[in-house]
Structure 1
Amino acid sequence: MDSLRTACTDPESLFSLPVEGLLHLVHNAFPEDIDRLQRAYSIRGSCWNPPATPSPSYILYGENYDEVNRTLIGFLALCWIHKGEYESFIGSHPSEARLTRASFEWIRSFYTQTVVTPNDLFTLIVSIIVNDLGKDPQLASDYHELTGEDISDLNHDAILLKACSAGLVKSLASLSIQDKNDVVRSLHLGASFNFGQLAQAENAPACLSGLLQMKGRPRSFQLRFLEQLLDIAGAAGHMDWTCAKKLNQPIFDAYRNVYDACQGVITGSLDLRAAYDLVLFRRVGLLESRGYRKLQVEENEDDRALTRLLCMGGVGDLETARLYENAWRHLEKPIRDNLVHSLNVDGSKVEPAIQPTYMPALISRAKDEKSLTCVMVYLARVMSATNIAYSSSAVVIERSVLGIMKKNVENGEFEQDPAVLEGVDVPPAAVALSEQDSWR
């Protein structure tokens, strides 16, 4: 750990190391936490042709571990950003979605404004390493053994936050009190608000309330946003570890929209609903520029619900937008009415919002009207299911479809027959945001 901290005092030399040396330096600094990532879960695409070069985890362990690769490609993306290696960063991005050089330079500028001192760099690296530790099921088990509290049903960000409070995340011990406070504060934000979930309109406006605690704490927010960009950069690292494959231009644009929405909440220029709708408006503007009709997000709840679905699907072209609308219009009226209502709930103690976690991953697997319809019908069930198990103070209730992705989608079952979702149970409920957590 001391070797890495010392290396951070000379970033030029640090990032000039060969990849193998760089990876071993980071692993030697945080062996326990990186080793945890060997057990972490991930979702792979249906088609996978691994690169010929050895992956980061293979360099370290002689085997491929998905989440180790994802995390360490995020770290290597930091290296490419620091060195200005645009071609390394974009790698095999398809030309139509390739991150532009101007966008890459925006990221570089944001990096240089955020990471000013060696301490900033070391703190950012710690943030990268710990970000997805909550995906290790053993972390929740260790917490249960230590405290007697079962947290296995919480989302991985909430599990991580709990584990940090119990001293189970070893990397944090390497930070000063101030740096640790900044990282933990960002983890508090991540436990109730996820940048990617807002980019995909997967969460609810109430989730943005956590941003209010970022007022007057710019360093904590900037580090968190930069770390999340690097997380996206590494998000496909378990399938292609040669570049920042996932951080393409459409996804970068979505994150820029999220950044603007967050800044609106933090500065007080936007309330939670207006900040959330900013993301929807930008999606509408993108599709309108491609020839799609103008959706009335503010005036029409039906259009607003459809816009959320378009965001969940990452829809950016005219043909796919029309496909989504056809499936939407052909839903039975009670089902569409159900979705119109539930997708317009902001989240409150009176009427909690439902957060269908991993639904974007599921909806993106639908390639025709039949499969889209099946997903929308299933989403209606997820969004409308009642469950008395959650706290009466719940503001946002999470229902994760990760289990369905693993059991019914990754094995090709959904692709062969989308109607398989008719027999799939609704996931259990967990509180994503409670009244005491909400800053509304």
Structure 2
Amino acid sequence: MSRLRTHYPLRATILEGRFFQLSENEILHSISLEYTSELTRLHSAYSIPEPDHPRPEISSPSFRIYGTEYDEVNRTLVGVLALRWIHFNDYESFVGCQPNSVKLRPQSFNWICNIYRKTIKSNEDLFTLITSTVINDLGKAPSLTTDYAKLTGTDINKVNHDMILYQVIHHPAVAETLVPSLTKVSSEHKHDLSLGIKLGAEFNFGQLAQAENVPACLSGLKTDLKNNPRAFEMRFMEQLLDIAGAAGHTDYTCARKLVEPIFDSYKNVYDVAIDIISGNLGLREGYDIILIRRVELLQRVGWKRAESLNIRDKEKRALMRLLCIGGAASIKTADLYYQTFTAVNLSRTVYEGLVEGLNVDGSLEQPAVQPTYLPAMCGLAIANTANGTTGEKMKALTALLTYLSRVLVIDKDSLSFKRLPEGVIVVERDLRQTIQPILESAAFKHKPDILTDAPMPRDQVAKMADGYEWSFTAISI
């Protein structure tokens, strides 16, 4: 192994077509040498822990390299190992630890393998994809924004991690200093990589899969990628690897998170995006397909209420979006959201606020709110009850939806709104920072209404209208 690593650096190994001849350990060590700076930054990147999930008996990727645990390094490297499983059509390794009830089906795995073969046509493509996978979450590392501010004098640490990376790589004077692996990507592939990162900064595939974002976030598909579907294919492949490694900080033996329901939602995103890029669908039309397919999934599992849902009815569309946000894939979960949303203990004011807020697309006249981490917060709220009864879960979800009705409001007369840069059409509000500790607390378990007094998240610019420039002087209020 040492001889191979010494004489065949990763890029050379890939360009000579030798990458998939390496063992897993050789791949991990080669990547650690090729991307030393990038992986070091990931040592301090944040992740949402899963304390109750037992770790496998074998050593994690980061432990094999560094002798210690780094969550985001593990997540990143499991994504790269997933690429190896895909290349070898190794279905058993890919799904090894997935629960049988939601295990990725063989035909779905084959679809992923076909996307890989369609996208990766050269060794340079492969190197670019691996580079994209390694740098994808660098924006989560505090050191990246700190070093960017030192070099440019601009503070960008109040925007989402995708936008942080986009700003870094689009600043020629600092990009190759802060992300040195970019110097090894060919100019043609760097262009595609940059387009994909720009798209990800305003349009997160996972957020569309869960209806967490809004239709305006999809506009980059019509503009930046209109004549470059290849950049989208590369970004989509990288995002599949990102999901495959998403549980890598707790289970690094397989692609634990890329289960059938998640794959199904991402395939929907792929279909919608391709149709928008080709001009066959508008932004709201494409977005609504995600909602419609969630209802169709629930119909297939036997949820009778699905038959009454209509995308053209604002109230029912709001419920359809909540079903996506909640990841409803069973009758029990769908009923929980339906019964909570229509229950008498959800006040009329809250109900109307939810219906209105969940139906805003995002425009100069009416900016939309993107409540990031809402799906995860829904899961935390429902899980943290005293006895796990349906009634307790409804109370917990009611408290969260009541809070959400406030979050979704853009008060045009407020000082914070007036201070936003001109051209804003989507405002991001990060729920993780304001309510995650509350939802995980013992107090919430017994009295969910404590969420009523929770502070509002900061406003962050998530999307600017075409023709308007990003401004970081007023990006967070």
Structure-1-length-normalised TM-score? 0.96
Q: Distance in 1 between matches of 2:71 and 2:81?
A: 15
Q: How far is 1:143 from its partner? A: 1.2
- 1:429-440 aligned at under 5 Å gives the runs 429-436=459-466
Find the partner of 1:3 among 9, 12, 26. 9
- 1:204-283 aligned at under 5 Å gives the runs 204-212=214-222, 213-283=224-294
Structure-2-length-normalised TM-score? 0.89
Is residue 305 from structure 1 mapped to residue 318 from structure 2 by the alignment? yes
Contact 1:295 1:307 in 2 (8 A): no
Contact 1:356 1:401 in 2 (8 A): yes
Specify the alignment match of 2:390 in structure 1: none
Is residue 142 from structure 1 mapped to residue 147 from structure 2 by the alignment? yes
Q: How far is 1:141 from its partner? A: 1.2
Q: Distance in 2 between matches of 1:426 and 1:62?
A: 40
Contact 1:44 1:410 in 2 (8 A): no
Find the partner of 1:184 among 183, 194, 197. 194
Is residue 378 from structure 1 mapped to residue 391 from structure 2 by the alignment? no
Find the partner of 2:420 among 377, 390, 396. 390
Task: Give the RMSD, CA atoms, in angstroms.
Answer: 1.7
The one-letter code of the counterpart of 1:122 is F
Specify the alignment match of 1:165 in structure 2: 170
Contact 1:45 1:410 in 2 (8 A): no
Tell me the alpha carbon deviations over residues 140-183 of structure 1, each in whole angstroms, 9 at most, x when there is no partner.
Answer: 11111111111111000000011112312211111111111110
The one-letter code of the counterpart of 2:451 is L
Q: Distance in 2 between matches of 1:145 and 1:322?
A: 52
Q: Distance in 2 between matches of 1:81 and 1:273?
A: 33
Secondary structure at the counterpart of residue 262 of structure 2: helix
* Count, aligned residues: 438
Q: Distance in 1 between matches of 2:438 and 2:65?
A: 32
The one-letter code of the counterpart of 2:357 is S
The one-letter code of the counterpart of 1:308 is R
Percent identical = 45
Does the C-alpha gap of structure 1 residues 348 and 438 become closer, same or farther in structure 2, counting only changes over 3 Å?
Answer: farther
Specify the alignment match of 2:211 in structure 1: 201
Instruction: Give 5+ residue unaligned stretches, structure 2.
Output: 383-392, 470-477
Secondary structure at the counterpart of residue 9 of structure 2: helix
Tell me the alpha carbon deviations over residues 181-239 of structure 1, each in whole angstroms, 9 at most, x when there is no partner.
Answer: 11011111011001000000000000000111212212211100000000000111111
Q: Distance in 1 between matches of 2:448 and 2:21?
A: 49
Q: How far is 1:27 from its partner? A: 1.0
Which structure is larger by alpha-carbon Rg, 1 or 2? Answer: 2
Q: How far is 1:366 from its partner? A: 3.1
Q: More relative contact order in 1 or in 2 (CA 8 Å, sep 6+)? A: 1
Tell me the alpha carbon deviations over residues 57-79 of structure 1, each in whole angstroms, 9 at most, x when there is no partner.
Answer: 11111111111011110000001
Q: Distance in 1 between matches of 2:131 and 2:441?
A: 35
Q: Distance in 2 between matches of 1:414 and 1:92?
A: 32
Find the partner of 1:66 among 64, 68, 71. 71
Secondary structure at the counterpart of residue 461 of structure 2: strand
Contact 1:280 1:297 in 2 (8 A): no
Contact 1:38 1:68 in 2 (8 A): yes
Specify the alignment match of 1:329 in structure 2: 342
Does the C-alpha gap of structure 1 residues 379 and 37 become closer, same or farther in structure 2, counting only changes over 3 Å?
Answer: same
Is residue 400 from structure 1 mapped to residue 430 from structure 2 by the alignment? yes
Tell me the alpha carbon deviations over residues 274-327 of structure 1, each in whole angstroms, 9 at most, x when there is no partner.
Answer: 000010010011112222222534321111111111111111011110111111
Q: Distance in 2 between matches of 1:300 and 1:46?
A: 41
Q: Distance in 1 between matches of 2:93 and 2:468?
A: 41
- 1:45-56 aligned at under 5 Å gives the runs 45-56=50-61
Tell me the alpha carbon deviations over residues 98-132 of structure 1, each in whole angstroms, 9 at most, x when there is no partner.
Answer: 00111111111110111011001001001001100
Q: How far is 1:82 from its partner? A: 0.4
Does the C-alpha gap of structure 1 residues 128 and 405 become closer, same or farther in structure 2, counting only changes over 3 Å?
Answer: farther
Is residue 314 from structure 1 mapped to residue 344 from structure 2 by the alignment? no
Specify the alignment match of 2:366 in structure 1: 351
Is residue 421 from structure 1 mapped to residue 446 from structure 2 by the alignment? no
Is residue 90 from structure 1 mapped to residue 95 from structure 2 by the alignment? yes
Specify the alignment match of 2:385 in structure 1: none
The one-letter code of the counterpart of 2:425 is V
Secondary structure at the counterpart of residue 172 of structure 1: helix
Secondary structure at the counterpart of residue 15 of structure 2: coil
Specify the alignment match of 1:342 in structure 2: 357
Q: Distance in 2 between matches of 1:414 and 1:34?
A: 37
Q: How far is 1:413 from its partner? A: 5.5
Is residue 79 from structure 1 mapped to residue 109 from structure 2 by the alignment? no
Contact 2:380 2:440 in 1 (8 A): no
Q: Distance in 2 between matches of 1:436 and 1:299?
A: 27
Does the C-alpha gap of structure 1 residues 184 and 413 become closer, same or farther in structure 2, counting only changes over 3 Å?
Answer: farther
The one-letter code of the counterpart of 1:336 is Y
Find the partner of 2:128 among 100, 123, 127. 123
Instruction: Give 5+ residue unaligned stretches, structure 1.
Output: none
Q: How far is 1:416 from its partner? A: 5.1
Contact 1:284 1:295 in 2 (8 A): no
